[in-house]
C-alpha cells in the first residue's frame, strides 16, 4: 500500500516521471489487477508517447491477458514513431503465437532490412520455409548473409538443409545435416534435444526421416543422449514404438551416470504429453520413477495421464496420493487427486 501511494504521489508531482507508472503498474500486476495496470501504462504513454519501457510493459500485459489485437495496435503505434526493428520483431512474435505465419514473415522481413543478426536470421529463415509456399530462395539468401555464421551454428545449418531438401537437393541436405550434427555438444541435453526436434521438420515421412538419422550415425555410434532423442522420434511412430522403448531401456541399463539421462527422460515425457502422445508419455514417466521413485512431480504427471487420458484410474490413485503426501500444499497435486 505504501509503495502504491508513493508511486501515485510521484506521478502527481511529475507526470513525466516514467518510473512511477512502471512501478504502479507492477504493483497492480502483482495484485492480479491487469486492467488497472493497462490503464496506468496507457496514461503514462499519453504523457510520454516515445517511452519504450512503458510501451513494452503495456504489450506484455496485453499479451498476458489475451489481447493480442490491442498489443499489435500498440506496436503499430511504436513503429509509426520510430523505425526500430525491435517493434517489428515483437509484432512477428505475436503473429507466430496466433499462427499467422505470413504476417510474421512480413514483420521479420522488415526487421531484417533494419538490422542483421544471427538470432533474427534463424527465426526469419525458419518461418520463410514454413510458409504455405516456402520461400526457399529468400531463406537461403538470409542464411548466406555475411552477418550470419551459418557454417558454425547447427540450427542454421539444419535450416539450410531443410531448404535444400525442399529443392530436392538431397546430397546437399544430408551434407548440411551431418555437419550440423557434428557441431552439437553430445553431453548437452538441450542441444541434442533441439537438434533432433529441428531434424523432425526435415521430412514428414517417417521412412525418409529415419533414413536420414541412419546417415548421421558416427563410427563410434550415437551418444546416450542422441540415442534417447532418436528413441523419442520412434515413440511417435506406432510401428517403431517398441523399438524406441527398447533403446531407452538399453541406455538406462548401461548408464554410469543417470543424471543427464533422467533430465532427458523428464524432458521427453513433457514433449510427448504436449504432443498428445499420452501412452508414450506414460511409458517415459514410468521409467523416470524406476530411477527416481519419490519424484512427486512425475508421480503427479503419470497419475494425471493415467486418469485423464488412459482410463487407468486404479493405477493413478496411489501415485496421486503419494504426490500429495510429498507436496500437500501443491494445488496441482490436489487437483489430480480430486480428479
CA R_g for the chain: 25
Q: What is the distance between the alpha carbons of residues 230 and 227, in angstroms, rounded to a whole number?
A: 5
Report how far apart, in Å, the C-alpha atoms of 225 and of each of 149, 194, 251, 263, 304 are: 26, 12, 9, 10, 27
For 246, the enclosing helix (H) or strand (E) is helix 241-254
| pTM: predicted TM-score of the whole model, two decimal places | 0.79
The predicted pLDDT at position 25 comes to 65
Q: What is the distance between the alpha carbons of residues 34 and 309, in angstroms, rounded to a whole number?
A: 34
The predicted pLDDT at position 12 comes to 44
Q: What is the DSSP string of 257-272?
A: -HHHHHHHHHHHHHHH
Q: Any idea which residue has 501412452 for its cell?
A: 279
The dihedral over CA atoms of 181, 155, 153, 224, expressed in degrees to the nearest 10, equals -30
Residues 6+ apart with CB under 8 A from 12: none
The predicted pLDDT at position 50 comes to 82
Cell numbers found for residue 124: 526469419
> Per residue in 111-122, is it b (16+ CB within 10 Å) or e — as a string?
bbeeeebeebbb
Q: Estimate the crossing angle of helix 189-199 against helix 258-274, to 10 degrees.
A: 40
Cβ–Cβ under 8 Å, residues 63 and 44: no
With a cut of 50, list the residues of the chain below it in pLDDT: 1-19
Render pLDDT for 99-136 as a digit per residue (tens, 0 to 9): 999 999 999 999 999 999 999 999 999 999 999 999 99
Amino acid at each position: 500500500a505504501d509503495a502504491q501511494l508513493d508511486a501515485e504521489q510521484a506521478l502527481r508531482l511529475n507526470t513525466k516521471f516514467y518510473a512511477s507508472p512502471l512501478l504502479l503498474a507492477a504493483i497492480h500486476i502483482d495484485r492480479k489487477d491487469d486492467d488497472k495496470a493497462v490503464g496506468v501504462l496507457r496514461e503514462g504513454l499519453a504523457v510520454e508517447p516515445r517511452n519504450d519501457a512503458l510501451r513494452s510493459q503495456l504489450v506484455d500485459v496485453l499479451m498476458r491477458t489475451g489481447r493480442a489485437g490491442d498489443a499489435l495496435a500498440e506496436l503499430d503505434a511504436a513503429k509509426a514513431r520510430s523505425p526500430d526493428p525491435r517493434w517489428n520483431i515483437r509484432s512477428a512474435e505475436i503473429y507466430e503465437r496466433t499462427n499467422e505465419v505470413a504476417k510474421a514473415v512480413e514483420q521479420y522481413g522488415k526487421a531484417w532490412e533494419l538490422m542483421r543478426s544471427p538470432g533474427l536470421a534463424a527465426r526469419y529463415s525458419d518461418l520463410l520455409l514454413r510458409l504455405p509456399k516456402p520461400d526457399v530462395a529468400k531463406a537461403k539468401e538470409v542464411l548466406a548473409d555475411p552477418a550470419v555464421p551459418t557454417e558454425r551454428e547447427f540450427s542454421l545449418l539444419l535450416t539450410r538443409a531443410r531448404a535444400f531438401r525442399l529443392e530436392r537437393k538431397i546430397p546437399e541436405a544430408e551434407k548440411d545435416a551431418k555437419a550440423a550434427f557434428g557441431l552439437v555438444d553430445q553431453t548437452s541435453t538441450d542441444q541434442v534435444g533441439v537438434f533432433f526436434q529441428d531434424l523432425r521438420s526435415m521430412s514428414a515421412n517417417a521412412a525418409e526421416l529415419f533414413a536420414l538419422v541412419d546417415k548421421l550415425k558416427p563410427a563410434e555410434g550415437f551418444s546416450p543422449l542422441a540415442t534417447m532423442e532418436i528413441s523419442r522420434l520412434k515413440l511417435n511412430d506406432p510401428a517403431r514404438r517398441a523399438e524406441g522403448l527398447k533403446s531407452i531401456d538399453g541406455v538406462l541399463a548401461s548408464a554410469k551416470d543417470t543424471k543427464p539421462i533422467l533430465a532427458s527422460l523428464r524432458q521427453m515425457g513433457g514433449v510427448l504429453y504436449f504432443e498428445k502422445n499420452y501412452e508414450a508419455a506414460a511409458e517415459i514417466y514410468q521409467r523416470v520413477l524406476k530411477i527416481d521413485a519419490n519424484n512427486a512431480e512425475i508421480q503427479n504427471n503419470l497419475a494425471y495421464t493415467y486418469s485423464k487420458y488412459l482410463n487407468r484410474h486404479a493405477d493413478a490413485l496411489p501415485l496421486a496420493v503419494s504426490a500429495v503426501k510429498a507436496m500437500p500444499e501443491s494445488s496441482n497435486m490436489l487437483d489430480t487427486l480430486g480428479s
